[in-house]
Amino acid sequence: MIYTDDHGPPHVHATDGSQSASFWLHCAERRASLRARKHMAGQVLSRVQNFIEANVEVLCEAWKEVHQ
């Protein structure tokens, strides 16, 4: 999730009930890294991070469009 009124640098949020995590988008390097997590179990976190990393280019483009 990318919030339209959120701050930089580029990052995304993932939530599922009471579980949440956010990831920095390192657009130039085409990678993502964990920024923070709350109650997100390791297996779920790993799946979410894999998804974000697989889609980092699309997410970076979306971030740019939302925050121009």
Convert the pLDDT of each residue in 21-58 to its tens digit.
Answer: 999 999 999 999 999 999 999 999 999 999 999 999 99
At 44 the pLDDT is 94
At 12 the pLDDT is 97
Q: Is the full-model pTM beyond 0.85?
A: yes
Would you put residue 17 in left (φ > 0), alpha (ψ -120 to 50) or beta?
Answer: left
Please list the alpha-helical segments (H only) found in 26-55.
Answer: 42-54
Does 8 or 56 have the greater pLDDT score? 56
Give the start-to-end residue ranges of the domains of the chain: 11-66
CA dist 20 and 11 (Å) reads: 13
**Residues listed for the chain:** 68
At 68 the pLDDT is 82
